[in-house]
Amino acid sequence: MHIHILGICGTFMGGIAQLARASGHRVTGCDTGVYPPMSTQLEAAGIELVEGYGAEQLALKPDVYVIGNAISRGNPLLEAVLDQGLSYVSGPQWLADNVLCGRWVLAVAGTHGKTTTSAMLAWILEDAGLSPGFLIGGVPMNFGVSARLSGKNADSPFFVIEADEYDTAFCDKRSKFIHYRARTAVLNNLEFDHADIFADLAAIETQFHHLVRTLPRNGLIVSNAAEASLDRVLACGCWTPVEKFNDRAGWRIQGDDAEGSLRLMQGAAVIGETQWALNGEHNRANALAALLAARHVGVPFDKGLEALSRFENVKRRMELRGTVNGISVYDDFAHHPTAIATTVAGLRRKVGGTRILAVLEPRSNTMKLGVMKAQLPSSLSETDQVFCYAANLGWDAAEALAPMGEKAVVEDNLDRLVARIAVAAQAGDQILVMSNGGFGGIHDKLLVALAGR
C-alpha cells in the first residue's frame, strides 16, 4: 500500500511514517520547512519528502492520505483530497487499525512527563528482553529513534506509546489516545493545558475519562495519587484495576540528586534501589510509574531498577549541548509553568548554589495565548537570572516577568538575546534553555558566542 502523510515532520506523524515503512508500505509525505532531525530519520528510512502542501501532490496517487492534526481546513492539499472524494484517515486511526490492533498496548498519558516515562518504560521492557515496539514524542537515547515496530523478537506483542490528549485531526476532535486500545495505561498527572482546544480542566478530564472507558477489565491503570484531577476522572466510572503511586502509604520513590540514588518504597519498606543519571522529583515519579506499568507485563522490580540504572534519558530533556569556558548549556523541552518549575528544581538540586541562567521561549499554543503568564515568575523562582524571547507573543512578557525585577531580561530579537546572555554568563554557570521548538538554533549560537568572548 502507498500512503501519503500530510504533516510528516511532526514527531508523531514522522513516527507513523517509520512504522508504516517498516511494515512494508510505500511511504511519502509532505510538510512545510521540511526539517531535521525528523527529516533526516525519514530520509534514512527511504521515505520521500515533499516541501509544502500543493494540490499537485494528488499526482502521487496514494492508496490513502494520512492527515496529521496540524492540518486544518483551507490547506490546499487537504481541500483537493476532500473535493475529489479520495480516501483519507487520521494518524491515530491509521495507527490503531494497522499497528496496534491485537497488541498489548502500554499507553502513557498526562500533562507532563509522557515522553520521558514512555522512554523509560520502553527501555525497561527492552532490557528485560521483551522487544517492544514504541512510538514516543522524542528520541530516547537508548534507542536512537522515536519509533519502531519491535525489537529483535519481531513477534513481541508489546507496544509502548506516548498517549497525547491533543485532538486527533480536523475531522475528529477527540483526544488521540482514544484510538490506542491500551491494556496498561499510565495516568501521570493532569493539569490545564492546550488552551487553544480545551475550555477548561474539566474538558480535559472528560477526555481522560473517555480513555478510561476504553480500558479492558484485565488491564491496569497506574495513576498518580497526588493528583485530585485524576481522582475525579476515576470517580466518573472505572472498570479496570487501579494501582496508585506517589502514595505515602503505598508505592512511592525517593532519591538524592547529588548522589544519583533511586529508592523504591512501599509505605516504609524499601523494595529496591539503584543509581541513575537523572534528577528531579518529577523524573523519580516518572520512573515509579514506568516500574509499575512494566510489572504488569511481567518485569519484576529488581529488573526494572537495573534497567533504569542504564537509562540514558531522551534528547532535549536536560540534554547537555556543550560546555565552553566552564559554562554549560542545556536543552530542555519544558514549556508549561509546572514543567519549567520541576526542571529548574531538578537542576538546582543537582548543582546546589551554582548560578542557573534560564532562557525561555514561550512557544506552545497555550503559552502564546498568555493563559499561564502569571505563573511564570514563581516557576522560575529558583533561577538566578531569566532571559525571555518575546517575539510573536500576544502579551507583554516584560510585564508578566516584572515581579522578578532586574533578574528578568526580555528581548524580541534573537541575536540581541544571545549577546546579552553571553555577556552575563560567568564560569561555572548553568544555562538552561527551555522551549518546545527549535528556538532558532539558540543553543549553538550561545556556544559560539561564549567561545568568542
Which one-letter amino acid corresponds to residue 110? G
Mean pLDDT of all residues in 57-64: 98
The model's pLDDT over 292-348, given as tens digits with 9 standing for 90+, comes to: 999 999 999 999 999 999 999 888 788 899 999 999 999 988 778 888 998 898 889
For the cut 90, the answer to whether the pLDDT of residue 371 exceeds it is no
Which range, of 84-93, 126-135, 317-326, averages the lowest pLDDT?
A: 317-326
For the cut 80, the answer to whether the pLDDT of residue 195 exceeds it is no
Q: pLDDT band for 117, please (50, 70, 90 cuts).
A: very high
- Residue 344: its pLDDT value, please? 92
For the cut 80, the answer to whether the pLDDT of residue 369 exceeds it is no
Q: Where in the chain is the domain with CATH 3.40.1190.10?
A: 102-308
Q: Where in the chain is the domain with CATH 3.90.190.20?
A: 319-451
Give the DSSP per-residue string, 360-397: E---SHHHHTTTTGGGHHHHTTT-SEEEEE-TT-SS-H
Local structure of 27: helix, strand or coil: strand
- Residue 35: its pLDDT value, please? 63
- Report the share of the chain in percent with pLDDT over 70: 98
- Residue 36: its pLDDT value, please? 66
For the cut 90, the answer to whether the pLDDT of residue 367 exceeds it is no
CATH superfamily of 2-91: NAD(P)-binding Rossmann-like Domain (3.40.50.720)
The answer regarding whether domain 319-451 maps to CATH 3.40.1310.30 reads no
Mean pLDDT of all residues in 64-71: 96
Write 28-32 long-range contacts (CB < 8 A, 24+).
Answer: 28/2, 28/3, 28/4, 28/60, 28/62, 29/4, 29/5, 30/4, 30/5, 30/6, 30/57, 30/77, 31/6, 31/7
Domain 102-308: give its CATH architecture: 3-Layer(aba) Sandwich (3.40)
Please report, for residues 64, 142, 362, 418, the alpha-carbon distance to residue 52 in angstroms, rounded to integers and kept in the order given: 18, 33, 26, 31
Run of H or E including 302: helix 301-308
Q: pLDDT band for 40, please (50, 70, 90 cuts).
A: confident
For the cut 80, the answer to whether the pLDDT of residue 193 exceeds it is no
pLDDT, averaged across the chain = 92
Q: What are phi and psi of 284, to 5 degrees?
A: -65, -40
Mean pLDDT of all residues in 231-249: 95
Q: Where in the chain is the domain with CATH 3.40.50.720?
A: 2-91
- Cis upstream peptide for 37 (omega within 30°): yes
- Residue 43: its pLDDT value, please? 86
Whole-structure pTM value: 0.84
- Residue 24: its pLDDT value, please? 94
For the cut 90, the answer to whether the pLDDT of residue 67 exceeds it is yes
The model's pLDDT over 196-228, given as tens digits with 9 standing for 90+, comes to: 778 889 999 999 999 999 999 999 999 999 999
